[in-house]
Structure 1
Amino acid sequence: MTISQPTLPLATNMAKHSVLGFNVVRVKITEDSEVIRHLFIKPHSTRDADPQRPKDRTLFVINIPPYVNKKCLENFFLKCGKIENIYLCNKPTTDPVGVEVSKYLPNTEPLMCYKVAYVVFKNENGVTKAMKIFKNNVGILIKEKEYLTQNTGVKKWCKDYASNSENIEVVKKELDDYFKEYDEKQELEKQNLKRKTEDTDAEGWMKVTKLSKVKANQNKASRYIKRKQKKNRNEKHLLDFYTFQMKETQQNRLQELRKKFEEDKQKIALMKAARKFKPF
């Protein structure tokens, strides 16, 4: 979020030390700077609990210049209370803020422009104090000695170029470790998946998961159904193996139907006699 030429309502609100729910903090880059810049701060608030950024101890800061790092922000907000951690991001996010574990395989986007910060204090009064202490003062964002060590412009480009020339063996070792860990994780997932697909209960039902191989499950299910059908056919063949057995089965079936028909006729006759017969 950058502000170059604020409109009249925005400028009026900034004069009142608040805009769009944020407190306005007027800062100068160094003591000798003649330009007044603005940071915007407010207590961090989310619907879900965030162990990294507790809402009662976290200050949300936006419009931070690219050359301002964690050390600068720590020194600037230290007057409000002891700081537990500072997380810098390109934009506001509710996702967990990752910690870089690899120099060559970063898990976060590089901070190349104006950014936001989550300043986590050790005590709750740090946020309260920060919302009051900067209302009438112009803060110094970077001390002179610190500013001289900041890499901007050509210095930054030279440093970025030099950082590309790294020790090949170190890079290779880190990549090998990364892919080894990845392969182990994939193998573990494959073993867990295989164990789940092989689990069946006493009736032959199998658990189906989204991560399972659908084709493998279908093949197992189809084989089970075929075995069941074959078993039923075998039992049927054993029951009606001879021709005379089939004739006897049919005759018995007809006798049962005739018997049931006669019983139904008797029931209807009794209902007619009792005048309770209602065909419609």
Structure 2
Amino acid sequence: MAPSKKKHASNQACVIPGGFTVLSLQFSSVSVAQHKLYVKEHKVRAERSSHRPMDRTLFVLNIPPYCSEDVVKRMFSEFGSVQSVELRDHPGSSHESGPKISKVFRPAAKQGFKVGYVVFENASSIKAAKSHPHNVPLVVSTKEHPVRTGTQKWIQQYSDSFVHTDKLQQTVDSFMEGYDKRKKEEEERQKEEAEQQQEDEEGWVKVTRGSKGTKARPHSEAANKKTLQKEIRKKKRKELMNFYTWQHRNTQKEHIAELRKKFEEDKQRIALLRAQRKFKPY
């Protein structure tokens, strides 16, 4: 009798539309329920980042809240040495604008399912993860590395919420040193741009080459503001004031009416001062 094909097929990887491979996840060895992860090789041409090399990065979807970066790193170490793990709320670029903030001052992380980027040390680990049988689950909590849940997890979170004063002071000092350094670099950069954008008597701006041989264009905020003011003055000079005869006549009438109004106001003020006997012409 020929062996059953169903048993042979169950030992193969499960690939769904979109190129994702299904991996089963089990909280512990005695758990009955299973969770599904969806993995795919990370290939984004627009993202040229050394943190996520295209040939060694695995994109993971549907990571449950009880899986931290350490847990994900330990689970995927089954396929090879893991260099780094990054968990995010939504897929996106690894480039983050602004300085790196310590976890002490970060807002509380959202409790929900995550997406992850697992970077292996070898490219062969990607192939091993994609060919893993879907009926062999990855175990989250083991005897060697237990994952706390329930009351134990709350107690641990409460204990971790307290920060030692010396460590907090060191974190603040480190951040302020970086802030002062960035502030100084920004002032020096603005000063250099201002020197490069100095206009001569005829209104020409000297453009020099940058460090990499490319032309440095004066497109800073100060240069844009200066150019805008120059255009406004130029536009005002081009405006034709009182081009027609009737415009000139109306302007003269308005000027005469304004002078008469001012003359009447002065007469009233002088009469008021005389009435108060405070007018002293000599």
**Residue 174 (1) aligns with residue 171 (2):** yes
Q: Which residue in 2 is equivalent to 1:118?
A: 117
The residue type equivalent to 1:205 in the other structure is: W
User: Where does structure 1 lack aligned partners over 5 or more consecutive residues?
Assistant: 1-14, 226-280
**Residue 130 (structure 1) shift:** 1.0
Per-residue deviation, residues 160-203 of structure 1 (Å, max 9, x unmatched):
33334323343234223312321331232123212322333654
Tell me how many residue pairs correspond in the alignment.
205
Aligned partner of residue 181 in structure 2, secondary structure: helix
Q: How far off is 1:95 after superposition? A: 2.8
Matching residue's letter, 2:82: I
Q: Which has the higher helix share?
A: 1
Q: Deviations over 1:209-249 (max 9, x none)?
A: 3332766x479979xx9xxxxxxxxxxxxxxxxxxxxxxxx
Q: Could you tell me which residue of structure 1 aligns to residue 35 of structure 2?
A: 37
Query: 1:80-119, aligned counterparts within 5 Å?
Result: 80-96=79-95, 102-106=102-106, 110=109, 112-119=111-118
Note the alpha carbon deviations across 1:130-162, whole angstroms, 9 max, x for none.
Answer: 111233423323313422xx3433333333333
Q: TM-score, normalised by structure 2?
A: 0.60
Q: 1:137 to 1:103 in 2, by over 3 A?
A: closer
The residue that corresponds to 2:192 in the other structure is 195
Offset of residue 55 of structure 1: 1.8
Question: What SS class does the counterpart of residue 187 from structure 2 fall into?
Answer: helix
Indicate the RMSD between aligned Cα atoms, in angstroms.
3.4
Distance 1:162 1:83, change over 3 A: closer
CA contact (8 A) 1:88 1:116 kept: yes
TM-score, with structure 1 as normaliser: 0.61
Residues 1:210 and 2:220 are matched in the alignment: yes
- Residue 52 of structure 2 corresponds to 53
Unaligned ranges ≥5, structure 2: 1-11, 207-217, 235-282
Amino acid paired to 2:104: Y
Distance 2:73 2:227 in 1: 59
Three-state SS of the structure 1 residue aligned to 2:145 is helix
Where 1:194 maps in the other structure, the secondary structure is helix
After TM superposition, the structure 1 = structure 2 runs for residues 133-152 of structure 1, keeping only pairs within 5 Å, are 133-147=132-146, 150-152=147-149
